[in-house]
Chain A
Amino acid sequence: MDKEREEGTEQTNESLSWIRRFGIQTYDFLEQPLPMVSRLLLIIAAVALVAVLIFPLWNMTFFSNQYTDGLALDIYAYRLEGAKTPNRDDLREINSLNHYIGMRPLLESDFSEFVWLPFAVGGLMLLALRAVVLGKMSKLVDVFVLFVYFSLYSLWSFYYRLHSYGHNLDPTAAIKVEPFTPPIFGEQVVGNFTVYSYPDIGSYAFIIYGILLFAAIVWAWRGYKRSLSAAEAPA
């Protein structure tokens, strides 16, 4: 039995060598100190996140013959805001129109996102700075992985919100419509409205945060590779 196992190990050694090498190299890379450029990118990234908290993340605009200027809804990390003029309150307007098809009113208090989203954004900001201070590659990779996870989760959460608003319609509503999902990105005709849904400055800042993190990793990776080839060259 023992012999067989040893033989088997020997046979797989060759095929696994590149994986092992990758593992060792990754481990080694993650243990590297962060280059100054990467740290600088991280600081910029952390600052960029401030915009996520200040500016709207998403914007939805509803056009119809009655609203040729469009009813506008801005979604911030922590609140909903309809466009407001002395003559019109768009959030109120959207809610009163939606009630005919039995859609729940958009209420800030219904969105748990408005609690955890700013908290998570703050966390990402701190984690980026933590990587700068601790200066280790692994900390940066941690933040990036968290960022990717958090972005996808937030997008899913946003989609789920839209889906559930459009699918949990009051069956006693005056106007019966087929359940629908309002558009998360792009243009869609919903009843007599053409709805446009696009990310806004907050989301762009968030994307920039991700890009900068990725750039910081690429930068460090390039430096690491260069140092490896420099070390190999004399031998």
Chain B
Amino acid sequence: MKNLFKKPKFLWIFLGVTLAVSFLVIGSCSRRSALKQDKGGAAEAATLTYVAPGDLDEYYLFYSGGHSGNVYVAGVPSMRHIATIPVFAKYPATGYGFDKETKAMLGEFDWGDVHHPALSETKGDYDGRWLFVNDNGNNRVARIDLRDFKTKQILGPVPNVSGFHGGAFVTPNSEYVLAASRFSIPLPKGTAASVEEYATKYKGVVSGIAIKPDTGEMSTGWQILMPPYNYDLGDAGKGPSEGWAFWTSYNTEKAIGKLEVTSTQRERDYIVAVNWKEVEKAVQAGKTQVIDGVPVVDPVATPGLVYLIPCSKSPHGVDISPDGKWIIGSGKLQSITTAYSVEKMLAAIQAKNFSGEEDGLPILNYDAIKEAEVNVGLGPLHTQFDNQGNAYTSLFVESAVAKWKLGSWEVVDKIPITYNIGHLATAEGDTVDPDGKFLIALNKLSHGTHLNVGPSQPESTQLIGIEGEKMKLLYNAFTEPEPHYAQIIKADKLKPIEVYPKEENKNPNAIWDINDAKAERSGDAVTVKSILVRSTISPTVIEVNQGDKVTIHLTNIEQTTDELHGFGLLEYNINVVVDPGETKTIEFVANKPGVYAYYCTNFCSALHQEMQGYLVVKPK
């Protein structure tokens, strides 16, 4: 070998080979330069999101808990989880679903699938009165009162509705909570028709749940009989589009089976435009049929109510700009978001500028109403707005948020998120008067970007600052499944109480004097009026016979913030928590003989451990 290297030519060849190989190896290594995520200035982000002890967040964030059945409340910008509001599932932490009233509200169901919280509005702005949420699982709608952050009403299962997904969203003056069927079925419920007859026998339903203006009480209102498309999401018009509501629909193929393939064959699906003010008139004029107790309008028989707007295929979100002038629709399988002009839509309807009809419904001429197609990126879903004329569209496939300008229709910024964003919410972003400032990305996958908690991973929710030209990622929070949509409301718009005032407690079974705390028997029914106050549950002993029907009315007579008391009854599967000034009722049959302790489950005072009593059940 030594001799070989002495020969200059050989050396030349050897060097050549070595160089070529090293060049290739170095070249191949450069591909390892991974795409780095812009984490922004850490110090700046920390300052922007830091809420010092004792200070309060600027905004409330209400985000859906998906199939947990809950709504979660966090503060923005700290992103701290503050409270869980149970809606469609039992929640022992507050005793929800254990007392008579909430048990009756939950009915036969143990779960619900909270998708889209909607704050009540007055003149298109959040009024801070109620939060409505839909249940995609069991076709219900619930109302949370923001005075005490409690679920006050669950309506449903709503007749004729199947998969209450396209909602909840409210009309600008909270006349209706709107929602629509995701899974069309034969109507009325209980009818069984073969899936093969899907296109003809199955029906979708768009539903206007009426809200009583003073109390927020919901009733089924009216419905519209729709072709069996899958109705996905919607938004109510405002300003020039007030009186209209819009839903996206997919599977306009009316296909069955493997929808992943069968429902994605057409290049266009529809945004459904509903003139709900005209629907109201049609209902008042009696142009309805009653299906399962609900007045239902047929938009084919009564023209002028429903129009189809072609949208790029399999759209998910449709959102109305704050000024009500633009309808923003995104096809999730294309990279185009379309902005439609409300003015042009109304003109096209006036001029009957239709490009055809489908299932008896007129299709508006796309080219006549389209204002712009914005190439936002891959997998566009939902759009929210700020106060400077910008729109923000979530890109599921691309895992990013695109910022673009209403009017000039240009994309001006993009930020990657972790990972697979679904909805997004900006501060008061779906009102007539958004605040800008913050955007929250509600992501479907966290992919282990947190401390490892095993295979059941949380979702990821990211706070993004949108005050400047460039979006800035500020904070990562992790949430329980499944943050579908959220509402962000300025904190000072809510004025919740901290105790239930004694004078407001009209419960006939409430007592306020410990001397009134006692059990009364009537046949085999035992009724106990009980008082919870630091640090005694009165009476401290309840004696019943095996088989008695026991009713206990529990009143927490405290009038001090945070003095909650619990009532946990051992081995009887009962736990309720009673807030200051509140009265709750529990009912059970004392079928197990013996002695069972009850105690305060919600830590209250220095003598909390002593706050206990005994239920003595004498055997037969």
Using a CB–CB cutoff of 8 Å, the interface residues on chain A facing chain B are: 37, 59, 61, 63-66, 68-70, 87, 172-176, 187, 191-192, 194, 196, 198-200, 204, 207-208, 211-212, 215, 218-219, 222
Q: Can you name the residue of chain A whose Cβ is closest to the Cβ of B448?
A: A87
A187 CA to B30 CA, complexed, in Å: 11
Q: Can you name the residue of chain B whose Cβ is closest to the Cβ of A198?
A: B28
Q: Which of the residues B13, B24, B333 comes within 8 Å of A175, measured between beta carbons?
A: B333
List CB contacts (< 8 Å) of B1-46 with chain A: 4, 9-10, 13, 16-17, 20-21, 24-25, 27-28, 31-32, 34-37
**B 384-399 to A, binary, CB cutoff 8 A, 1 in contact else 0:** 0000000000000111
CB distance from A82 to the nearest CB of B (A): 16
Total residues of chain B contacting the partner, CB 8 A: 40
Q: Can you name the residue of chain A whose Cβ is closest to the Cβ of B3?
A: A37
**Number of inter-chain CB pairs below 8 Å:** 86
| Partner-contacting stretch, out of B170-178, B239-247, B258-266, B474-482 | B258-266
Given contacts A198-B24, A207-B20, 17 further A-B contacts (CB under 8 A): A37-B4, A37-B10, A64-B399, A65-B399, A65-B417, A66-B420, A69-B34, A172-B265, A174-B260, A175-B333, A192-B399, A199-B28, A204-B24, A208-B17, A208-B21, A218-B13, A222-B9
CB distance from B447 to the nearest CB of A (A): 7
Most buried by A among B16, B37, B419: B419
28 contacts between A and B (CB under 8 A): A37-B4, A59-B31, A61-B31, A61-B32, A65-B398, A66-B420, A66-B445, A68-B34, A68-B36, A172-B265, A174-B261, A174-B264, A174-B314, A187-B31, A191-B378, A191-B397, A192-B399, A198-B28, A199-B28, A204-B21, A204-B24, A207-B21, A208-B21, A211-B16, A211-B20, A218-B9, A218-B13, A219-B10
Q: Is the interface of A mostly helix, strand, loop or mixed?
A: mixed
CB distance from B269 to the nearest CB of A (A): 13
Closest 9 CB pairs of A and B: A65-B399, A196-B31, A174-B264, A65-B416, A198-B28, A192-B398, A66-B419, A215-B13, A192-B378
Q: Which of the residues B35, B398, B417 comes within 8 Å of A63, measured between beta carbons?
A: B35
Q: Which residues of chain A have C-beta atoms less than 8 A from B4's C-beta?
A: 37
B400 at the interface (CB under 8 A from A): yes
Q: Which residues of chain B have C-beta atoms less than 8 A from A175's C-beta?
A: 264, 333
A64 CA to B396 CA, complexed, in Å: 12
CB distance from A97 to the nearest CB of B (A): 10
Q: Which residues of chain A have C-beta atoms less than 8 A from B9's C-beta?
A: 218-219, 222
Q: Which residues of chain B have C-beta atoms less than 8 A from A196's C-beta?
A: 31
Most buried by B among A69, A175, A196, A208: A175
Q: Which residues of chain A have C-beta atoms less than 8 A from B32's C-beta?
A: 61, 70
Q: Which residues of chain A have C-beta atoms less than 8 A from B10's C-beta?
A: 37, 215, 219
A84 CA to B379 CA, complexed, in Å: 27
